Structure 1
Amino acid sequence: MELSLAHEASQRTLKQRNVLALVCIVLGILVVVMFTAASTRDREVVLQPILPSQMTLSSSAVTDEYLAAVTRDTAQLALNRSPETLQYWMDGIVAISAPETRGALKAQLMKIMDEQQGSQITQFVTIDWIRTDPDNLTSQVGGVLHTIVGSKDVRREHKIFQFNWTYTGVSLRLKGFGVVVKKDGDGA
């Protein structure tokens, strides 16, 4: 009799173990499916910048409108500076830069700060146009760059500046920027 009771008890334990194992396998599969769905699903954020309409940002790609708005604001930050605002200027650019380029970009900005510190040179840009390329994550800004020494406007040059970006998740970050130099022989 004891043998049959022991056998029944062991069979119940085996059934419970098998049911528990089956539940664990089902839950494991469910976690994998939900993780896959969550990681591959595009996220969208509705933005309300200073624009006449709403803008949506998706994790699948950056839109032309959003890249243009960010380029406009970044160009205003990066190309307008005076000796009094140099620290704010550098901190602002570093804050929007990509982590992998932050150190090199900050070193370049520090050189500009050292050159301009204590001077009376102010620079600002009046933007004529903005072109964006969301596929290559680049944008260009054309405008007149004004250089003022003291209170005298000493130089006005039309220049084109290029901004390079990186896009991860729903985060657009600045990789670098600079003046587009025309190659010799270019008619434009």
Structure 2
Amino acid sequence: MRRSRIVVGVVMMASLFGCGGEGAGDDAPDAQRTAEKTRTAASTTFEAIGQGVEALGYTSTGAGRWAICGQEPSPNGAQYVAEIAVTQSNVPPSKYGAVVREQAEAQGWSVEEAGADTLEGRKDGLTLRAQYGAAGMNLSVRSRCLDVPKDEIRRLTDQPKDDLGVAPPS
């Protein structure tokens, strides 16, 4: 009886700390869904914030790509990152924080200030970051770090950037 308790305890500890039958690469099949979820959230959020600040110019129509993430010195995962920059706006930079917060919250993000010129938001496992100042605004949406094998990290990060199709200001 005591031996079965020890075995059960060891199995429970192994599964709790990720030492069970599943190993690195558990998230590999989720990569496509993660990228699509991040692209969709980024495109919608970037357009809403762009309309809120009355954007006159972007650096591009937005780009998404896979990036390495995880513990240093040996990264162990990949995350999808979507980015865009507002280069000109009809709203003064002093109002960016309030407008970004309002538009992000309207899109379902829980937003908190991360500094005088930075906001961060969370929604559905994604992270929104907005950094702004007199020269413009940088926006990014990141997925969580997916635990994938090194060959999958390489395959994902070697893919070309995706165009998010954010509508240019009219």
TM class by shorter chain equals 0.3 to 0.5
Whose relative contact order is higher, 1 or 2, with alpha carbons under 8 Å and at least 6 apart?
Answer: 2
Q: TM-score, normalised by structure 1?
A: 0.33
Instruction: Give the number of the structure whose residues are more often helix, by fraction.
Output: 1
The structure that has the greater radius of gyration is 1
